Amino acid sequence: MKKTIFTGAGVAIVTPFDKDGNVNFKKLGEIIDHQIDNGTDAIIICGTTGEGCTLSNEEHIETVKFCVEYTNHRIPVIAGTGSNDTAYGIKLSNEVEKFGVDGLLMVTPYYNKTSQEGLIRHYEYTAENVSAPIVLYNVPSRTGVNILPETYYELSKNKKIVGIKEANADISALAKTIALCGDDLAVYSGNDDEVTAFMSLGGKGVISVLSNICPRVAHDIPASYLAGDYKKSAALQLEWLDLCNALFSDVNPIPIKEAMNMMGWDVGECRMPLAPMNAAKKEKLRQILEKHGLVK
């Protein structure tokens, strides 16, 4: 059985930008403190929600460095370092490992559309050349590549590969993956609307977008299940389902940044090519935030 980096809710944290479009480190520190104060179990920095794909190499490294140093071992920090270029992903991973990250979140290679054998070769070669534990990230709606259960099984044999963030919305495949891999892979939901379902099959928690604005709720859904209060976990999942869905009514992280700005966090806009929400979607999001008492 491998060591689990965290159980519960890890926040897929946004990267705040100032009015000039630069990383706002002061605001990032405030968000980190708010997350830790409200029960978040881990921070995932520079992932999809953190707009790692539009950060320059220097910004990416500096943002991870700041997060690790500011968090100061209060909770684990996992850095997004995946790439469609195996060599670059390793190089970036080695850079952020210098700061003491607790893990690496590595998305499947995108655009190249490698085969399952290519995925195995990519991740095994990466594991040979990094020191931190790896969490695989499967999000075929964005990458065009899907990791199959049998591929997870092969990769679970590698001691460096300890977990998966699964966002393919396929519960049947999830069940097969957990049946094959058992305790050799910690499984985290990559979708906030599926957390209780994941937990019921043996999942360890969630890497959450919702947590950016509702860290206590995001924490309590898996925590309740882990504590044996399955009904509470399910009730919370259903109570907040409309907001989970609203946060994906446009391309992530557009809605979550919009929601944070409505709530007064002033995290700036997403970098291009992502565009602001249209007026109708924005108003619907505002109404749902108001329903839950998050805005007036």
Question: Where do runs of H (alpha helix) occur along 106-229?
Answer: 116-128, 140-143, 149-156, 171-181, 195-200, 215-226
Query: Which is it for the CA torsion 284, 287, 292, 296, positive or negative?
Result: positive
Can you tell me the distance from the alpha carbon of 112 to that of 124, in angstroms, rounded to the nearest whole number? 18
Residue 206 backbone phi and psi in degrees, to 5: -140, 145
Structure tokens at 40: 């978040």
Cα atoms found within 13 Å of the Cα of residue 57, Cβ hemisphere only:
9
- Whether 225 sits among the annotated catalytic residues: the reply is no
Can you tell me the distance from the alpha carbon of 77 to that of 69, in angstroms, rounded to the nearest whole number? 10
- Look up tokens 């979607």; give the residue: 281
Can you tell me the distance from the alpha carbon of 169 to that of 124, in angstroms, rounded to the nearest whole number? 25
Q: Which of 137, 152, 188, 225 is catalytic?
A: 137
- Whether 137 sits among the annotated catalytic residues: the reply is yes
- Which amino acid is it at 39? G
Structure tokens at 53: 């794909």
Q: Which of 27, 165, 257, 282 is catalytic?
A: 165
Can you tell me the distance from the alpha carbon of 99 to that of 218, in angstroms, rounded to the nearest whole number? 27
Other CB atoms closer than 10 Å to residue 290's CB: what's the count? Answer: 12
- Which amino acid is it at 82? G
Residue 113: helix, strand or coil by DSSP?
A: coil
Pairing of strands 103-107, 77-80: parallel
Catalytic residues: 137, 165
